[in-house]
Amino acid sequence: MSLIVQKYGGSSVADAESIKRVARRVVETKRQGNQVVVVVSAMGDTTDDLLDLAADITDHPQDREMDILLSSGERMSMALLAMAINQLGETAQSFTGSQAGMITDAIHGKARLIEVNPNRVHESLDSGHIGIVAGFQGMSRESKDITTMGRGGSDTTAVALAAAMNADVCEIYTDVDGVFTADPRVVSRARKIDVASSEDMLEMAANGSKVLHLRSVEYARRFGVKLHVRSSFSEKEGTWVIPDPEDKITIQEGEPLEQPIITGLAHATEARMTIAGIPDEPGRAAAIFNVVAEVGTNIDMIVQDVSDETKKTNISFTLPSDDGRKTLEALEAQKGAIGFEDLDFTPEVGKVSLVGGGMRHHPGVSAKFFSALRDAGINITLISTSEIRVSVITKIEDMERAVEALHTAFGLDSEEEATVYAGTGR
């Protein structure tokens, strides 16, 4: 008997009809002779609605209360799905994250898993039930409080359960047919990828392809969990993410032996900070980034200009838009100590990344990349590269156009239009 973990995202359980549809799919999987564990997200845009509600009450919600509030979204869907499955003649039991043994550290809003002890879920399966687990939440043993794992964290709940329970596969059900060469909401000719390496998928997720939570890809790679990303609205085969690049892949006749040069494009909205007029001498960058680290901001791209004849330089970096205010305040407070002249903050810029494990062996990728942006008349403000990625920062209003232009320039456009079945893309 196989053990299958299925995760259904918010758009797949948006209303009663959708929950009933998912229940039929789960029951069918069970009746094919499998044990099934289901991880659910909150219904539709519930998490965003709860965030808006809290913002209507206060600008400074307590982290602890915020996590209790947000974790309630997943509790609603898990109970409703259990009822829908019971209605179809199978039995299901739902569990909150803490009941399912998802033990995390005590950092609210971005808690990390420390231990996963799904004993109660095992018992439930052994008694012939379908186990349902609320996504994106856990409990800290230290503080005894409910925690959440960050937006999109239900994917990580599913992969962690699949690893702990030694599942045969972890299926991530969403509102598109799999992982595409670009966000199908932006590029209608995006092409579905049949098999992606963990390495490429990590870069895609790290650079904004929210179809998989970054931490779920990391976790799947570490624990060798097979991921199948697919639509809950169709029966189509989705995208397989191969956990171990060393794993032997069976190549069908006629299939290319090498991985493609380019896997796809990812995009994200970030903020940009420019610190101008910094004395060009050792220790100034360290002073800046220590201040930034102290307030807990994760920075992304960093660029320093060559200093001018006044021996002053500028440093720019990108950061999550939500961290903008606190970072700005912290730097402003240390203006004298660091010795800079000016701060310039842009709350929204576009980050566009081209990802592909094959590009490390192929010259000319950068030339084609920058030519395509030039032809589209798009100006670039920051550039960063890795062995398998080229990223640029553009004006926010140019971001989607840049993704489309690059998708076409790299020959990724498909003959057919990609289907987006549901969801608001929020």
Give the residues lining the site for ligand ADP (CB under 6 A).
Answer: 9-12, 41, 152, 174-176, 179-180, 182-185, 204, 209-211, 264, 420, 423, 425
* Residue 154 touching ligand ASP (CB under 6 A): yes
Token pair listed for 55: 């913002």
Binding residue for Mg ion, selected from 152, 208, 264, 350, defined by CB under 5 A? 152
Nearer to ligand ASP by Cβ, of 10 and 357: the residue is: 10
The DSSP letter of residue 379 is -
Nearer to ligand ASP by Cβ, of 159 and 301: the residue is: 159
Nearest to 389 by CA among 367, 366, 364, 410: 366
Nearest to 1 by CA among 37, 32, 38, 39: 32
The DSSP letter of residue 176 is B
Nearer to ligand ASP by Cβ, of 152 and 264: the residue is: 152
183 binds, among Mg ion, ligand ADP, ligand ASP, none (CB under 5 to 8 A by kind): ligand ADP
* Residue 324 touching Mg ion (CB under 5 A): no
| Closest distance to ligand ASP from the beta carbon of 378 (Å) | 30
Give dist(CA 330, CA 296) in Å, integer.
11
Nearer to ligand ASP by Cβ, of 118 and 135: the residue is: 135
Structural contact between residues 189 and 183, judged by C-beta atoms closer than 8 angstroms: no
Give dist(CA 242, CA 194) in Å, integer.
11
Stretch that binds ligand ASP, among 151-159, 167-175, 298-306, 358-366 (CB under 6 A): 151-159
Give dist(CA 268, CA 300) in Å, integer.
12
Give pairs for 62-70: CB < 8 Å, separation 24+: 63/108, 63/109, 64/108, 64/145, 66/108, 66/109, 67/108, 67/109, 67/137, 67/145, 67/146, 67/147, 67/148, 68/146, 70/42, 70/136, 70/137, 70/148
| Closest distance to ligand ADP from the beta carbon of 192 (Å) | 8
* Residue 97 touching ligand ASP (CB under 6 A): no
151 binds, among Mg ion, ligand ADP, ligand ASP, none (CB under 5 to 8 A by kind): ligand ASP
Binding residue for ligand ASP, selected from 6, 35, 73, 400, defined by CB under 6 A? 73
Give dist(CA 79, CA 317) in Å, integer.
44
Task: With H, G, I as helix, E, B as strand and everything else as coil, classify residue 408.
Answer: helix
Quick note: the x/- pattern for ligand ASP over 165-184, rule CB under 6 A, is --------------------
| Closest distance to ligand ADP from the beta carbon of 224 (Å) | 23
Number of shown-chain residues binding ligand ASP (CB under 6 A): 12
209 binds, among ligand ASP, ligand ADP, Mg ion, none (CB under 5 to 8 A by kind): ligand ADP
| Closest distance to ligand ADP from the beta carbon of 280 (Å) | 40
Give dist(CA 158, CA 164) in Å, integer.
10
Nearest to 82 by CA among 40, 117, 118, 54: 40
Quick note: the x/- pattern for ligand ASP over 10-29, rule CB under 6 A, is x-------------------
Nearer to ligand ASP by Cβ, of 42 and 167: the residue is: 42
Quick note: the x/- pattern for ligand ASP over 111-140, rule CB under 6 A, is ------------------------xx----
How far apart, in Å, are the Cα atoms of 264 and each of 107, 359, 377? 33, 11, 21
Residues 6+ apart with CB under 8 A from 58: none
How far apart, in Å, are the Cα atoms of 276 and each of 68, 307, 318, 320? 41, 11, 15, 20
| Closest distance to ligand ADP from the beta carbon of 285 (Å) | 33
Nearer to ligand ASP by Cβ, of 206 and 406: the residue is: 206
* Residue 73 touching Mg ion (CB under 5 A): no
Q: What are phi and psi of 313, to 5 degrees?
A: -135, 170
Structural contact between residues 253 and 240, judged by C-beta atoms closer than 8 angstroms: no
3-state helix, strand, coil in the chain (%, to 5): 35, 25, 40
* Residue 153 touching ligand ASP (CB under 6 A): yes
Binding residue for ligand ASP, selected from 6, 12, 29, 41, defined by CB under 6 A? 41
* Residue 243 touching Mg ion (CB under 5 A): no
Stretch that binds Mg ion, among 13-21, 144-152, 335-343, 391-399 (CB under 5 A): 144-152
Token pair listed for 185: 């909401």
* Residue 47 touching ligand ASP (CB under 6 A): yes
* Residue 208 touching ligand ASP (CB under 6 A): no
Which residues here bind Mg ion, judged by CB under 5 A? 9, 152
